[in-house]
């Protein structure tokens, strides 16, 4: 973006506060947020490339650039979102689901047994 917009891009996102690596915190935060939001286009490089070839006159906001990317996406690539969960998080999630499933099954059995006894 800086290549296309120069100083107007810097003015829009820079906050002038430098981090310990002498990098502008505003620009670093912007880059992280844009990477996070545009991650759904990782498998559709053409969407970003074409969006960059069709930039507006002034630096776009993140939602405006995301909308521009969506205009050039392919449906299959857009839905292939990257998985940001660790193997441990996935394993823990599966264990929690199994535990919930067992609780529901037990609850259903107790309710069924309760209804039989009440008859």
Query: Taking the model in full, what pTM does it have?
Result: 0.57
d(CA 71, CA 81): 17
DSSP string, 58-106: SPPPHHHHHHHHHHT--HHHHH-PPP---HHHHHHHHHHHHHHHHHHHH
Q: What is the pLDDT of residues 56-82, one digit of tens each?
A: 999 999 999 999 999 988 755 545 455
Q: What is the pLDDT of residues 91-100, one digit of tens each?
A: 877 888 788 8
Buried b / exposed e along 9-48 (16+ C-beta atoms within 10 A) = bbebbeeeeeeeeeebeebbebeeeeeeebebbebbeebb
């Amino acid at each position: 973006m800086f290549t296309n917009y120069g100083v107007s891009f810097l003015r829009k996102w820079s906050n002038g506060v430098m981090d310990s690596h002498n990098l502008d915190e505003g620009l670093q935060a912007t880059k992280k947020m844009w990477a996070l939001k545009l991650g759904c286009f990782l498998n559709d490089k053409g969407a970003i490339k074409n969006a960059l070839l069709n930039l507006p006159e002034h630096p776009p906001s993140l939602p405006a650039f995301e909308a521009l990317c969506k205009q050039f996406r392919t449906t299959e690539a857009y839905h292939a979102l990257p998985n940001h969960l660790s193997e441990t998080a996935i394993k823990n999630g599966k264990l929690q689901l199994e535990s919930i499933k067992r609780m529901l099954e037990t609850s259903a059995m107790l309710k069924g047994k309760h209804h039989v006894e009440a008859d």
